[in-house]
């Protein structure tokens, strides 16, 4: 288990226990929201519940809606994410404005307030007081569940100044007020505390997503990806094969209108392996978005074009561009592999991933039709 930095003044042992017996994701994102707020303004110790709620929603939207992860049947963040998606088409591009800004721009003040209220209602009941319960285990042991929150709030108020080592914050109607001595600790150890949260969050998410690949990459907003190698690969191929057509639309693909499509969406595979990337036009790639290709319609065309490109580079001194394919094949050799053998290797790799992604809720794409 990951350890937190020790302190002679503070009850760090109790802080280490805040994620014990966690049945939903709220506590993880509550702690992250507090750290985010401190990172933005370390002098501000009064944090409104509504601002923290929006911070939580901004962070949790990506694993739930972009990556389609499950947080389990007891977690209602998915319903909140769906509520957002029903009202706003979120721009999920890497350089897009943050989700709070998008929501504020596209919804009325009342709609934003209603969303905040939905989250804060859950926070009041399950998070704000329960997060710090490990600091008051002896005082709350044996109490009925209905009175625990009130007891913790009362203790926080009474002990805020007299026993500040035990009280991270006290709770008011609209806000939490961080204890200065704890705010200093949280600020000083931001990176370690984020690692602590991430370690526990990964364990929590793994239980609910046992078959998901690259899970640790799917807990935050995606960072900028490097498609330099894929660009070299397909631009080099297209330069000598100008007749190539898009596997989805049938339209010609040129170096001028080239866009690189992840056949299985990046938001599922979370990698840029060349055997999953195909050239298409900018407009087609935009319409496909994060959807799965309709396999029966497009896989053979995808496989055939991939095979042609591999054969092209086998005939040219560009061996570094074939490393991803060599790793895919393992001990098998690219040289001499028939088109049918290559197709079977790709299908064996892609089909299980496609089925899992479908079960997670990724939509299906057919060119010219709405996502299914």
Comparing CA positions, the residue from 274, 281, 361 lying closest to residue 309 is 274
Contacts of residue 45, defined as CB under 8 A and 6 or more positions apart, other chains included, come to 177, 178, 180, 183
Question: Could you tell me the CA-to-CA distances from 275 to 58, 59, 210, 240 in Å, in that order?
Answer: 32, 31, 24, 20
Residue 68: which region, alpha, beta or left (left: phi > 0; alpha: psi -120 to 50)?
Answer: left
pLDDT tens digits, 288-300: 999 999 999 999 9
pLDDT tens digits, 318-363: 667 899 999 998 767 888 899 999 999 999 999 999 999 999 999 9
pLDDT tens digits, 132-155: 999 999 999 999 988 999 999 999
pLDDT score at 319: 64
pLDDT score at 111: 87
How, if at all, do strands 169-171 and 364-365 pair? Answer: unpaired
pLDDT tens digits, 106-134: 889 898 888 888 888 888 988 999 999 99
- The model carries a pTM of 0.85
Spans of all domains in the chain: 12-218, 228-365
Residue with tokens 């049918």: 340
For residue 41, the SS3 value is: coil
Residue with tokens 């580079």: 313
Give me 87's structure tokens: 């009202």
pLDDT tens digits, 28-70: 999 999 999 999 988 899 999 999 998 898 889 999 999 999 9
């Amino acid at each position: 288990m990951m350890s937190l930095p020790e302190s002679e003044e503070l009850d760090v042992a109790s802080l280490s226990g805040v994620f014990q017996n966690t049945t939903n994701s709220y506590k993880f994102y509550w702690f992250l929201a507090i750290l985010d707020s401190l990172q933005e303004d370390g002098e501000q110790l009064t944090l409104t519940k509504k601002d923290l709620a929006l911070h939580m929603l901004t962070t949790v939207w990506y694993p739930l809606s972009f990556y389609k992860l499950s947080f389990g049947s007891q977690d209602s963040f998915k319903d909140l994410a769906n509520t957002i998606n029903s009202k706003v088409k979120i721009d999920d591009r890497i350089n897009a404005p943050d989700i709070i800004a998008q929501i504020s721009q596209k919804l009325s003040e009342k709609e934003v307030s209603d969303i905040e209220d939905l989250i804060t209602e859950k926070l009041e009941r399950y998070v704000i007081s329960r997060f710090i319960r490990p600091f008051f285990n002896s005082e709350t042991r044996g109490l009925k569940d209905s009175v625990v929150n009130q007891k913790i709030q009362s203790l926080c108020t009474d002990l805020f100044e007299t026993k500040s080592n035990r009280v991270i914050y006290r709770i008011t109607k609209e806000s939490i007020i961080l204890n200065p001595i704890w705010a200093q600790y949280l600020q000083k150890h931001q990176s370690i505390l984020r690692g602590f949260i991430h370690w526990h969050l990964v364990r929590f998410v793994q239980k609910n997503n046992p078959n998901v690949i690259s899970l640790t990459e799917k807990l935050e907003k995606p960072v900028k990806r490097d498609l330099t190698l894929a660009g070299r690969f397909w631009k080099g191929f297209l330069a000598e094969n100008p007749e190539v057509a898009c596997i989805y639309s049938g339209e010609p693909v040129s170096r001028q209108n080239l866009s690189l499509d992840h056949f299985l969406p990046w938001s599922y595979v979370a990698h840029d392996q060349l055997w999953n990337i195909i050239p298409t036009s900018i407009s087609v790639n935009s319409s496909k978005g994060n959807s799965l290709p309709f396999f029966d319609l497009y896989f053979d065309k995808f496989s055939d074009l991939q095979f042609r490109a591999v054969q092209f580079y086998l005939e040219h001194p560009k061996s570094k561009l074939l490393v991803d394919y060599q790793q895919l094949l393992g001990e098998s050799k690219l040289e001499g592999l028939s088109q049918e053998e290559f197709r079977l290797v790709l299908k064996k790799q892609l089909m299980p991933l496609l089925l899992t992604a479908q079960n997670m809720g990724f939509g299906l794409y057919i060119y010219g039709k709405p996502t299914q």
